[in-house]
Amino acid sequence: MSLKNLETYKSHILEYGFSIIDNVFSDDEVEKIIAVLNGIDTSWENFRKSEDLFAIRQFLKEIPEIKDLIFNDNIQRIITEIFGEKYFVVKSIYFDKPETSNWYVAYHQDLTISVDKKLELSNFGPWTTKQNQFAVQPPLNILENIYTIRIHLDNTDENNGALKVVPKSHSKGIYRPETIDWKIESEKICNVEKGGVMLMKPLILHGSNRTTNGKKRRVIHIEFSDMELPEVLQWAERIN
């Protein structure tokens, strides 16, 4: 399955903050990814498990054998033609929202990056530390530069937690969700088919509702940048 012209998706994400591309992975490719996921040991400390959510942080580092399955020709084209030639992975998470999940996510922006250490740096902060993983809010230009790919392993709509977004909110800087004026903003539900991807800018306001249709929602979330951090700091999850 080769993707047609990617320019339309590129212009859409730049203007609206998101874009949806179907048929990036064949059914066979999705099944191979799911087979690897079904075989992993879920007791590791980077795994978070509850009735409502199962998540693997630093996903590509924890499950390195999955990289070849994820970076197929279509994904590599999306990275180079939509993001840019020099973009590399800076963060990856796997989310499994089970069939009975009551997990919902309020509107928010993704405002932190994963870095290798904590130190005093002007315009970097606040900081959070979880299990020796350091996250920090960087200067706005670093956040504006990031692109996210969300690979969908299941058909996803508003009934099983598809993302809802506020189009164009990615171009308004730090945007506090409690200040959304629904008289001027709109909401878009981002349905994605199994094997499709959603591209988004992390500054777009996004959230998701509880699952109501008893269907799974499994998503691989990968963030990319082509910016180097100030020389004393490194991207914690960098993969070229």
Total structural domains within the chain: 1
For the entire predicted model, the pTM comes to 0.95
* Residue 44: predicted pLDDT: 72
* Residue 1: predicted pLDDT: 60
In the structure encoding, which two tokens stand for residue 42, read together? Answer: 């879920």
* Residue 2: predicted pLDDT: 67
Residue 15 domain-assigned? yes
Residue 181 domain-assigned? yes
* Residue 187: predicted pLDDT: 97
Residue 42 domain-assigned? yes
* Residue 165: predicted pLDDT: 98
* Residue 68: predicted pLDDT: 96
Q: Is 99 exposed, middle or buried (0-12, 13-18, 19+ CB in 10 A)?
A: exposed
* Cα–Cα distance measured from residue 51 to residue 70, given in angstroms and rounded to the nearest whole number: 27
Tell how strand 88-97 and strand 54-57 pair up. Answer: antiparallel
Residue 236 domain-assigned? no
Three-point CA angle 148, 211, 27, nearest 5°: 55
Residue 238 domain-assigned? no
Q: Give which of 193, 191, 157 is closest to 24, Cα–Cα.
A: 193
Regions of the chain where pLDDT drops below 70: 1-2, 45-46
In the structure encoding, which two tokens stand for residue 207, read together? Answer: 């959230």
Residue 104 domain-assigned? yes
pLDDT, tens digit (0-9, with 9 covering 90-100), for 179-217 = 999 999 999 999 999 999 999 999 999 999 888 888 989
Residue 45 domain-assigned? yes
Its domain, for residue 180, covers: 7-225
CATH number for 103: 2.60.120.620
Residue 1 domain-assigned? no
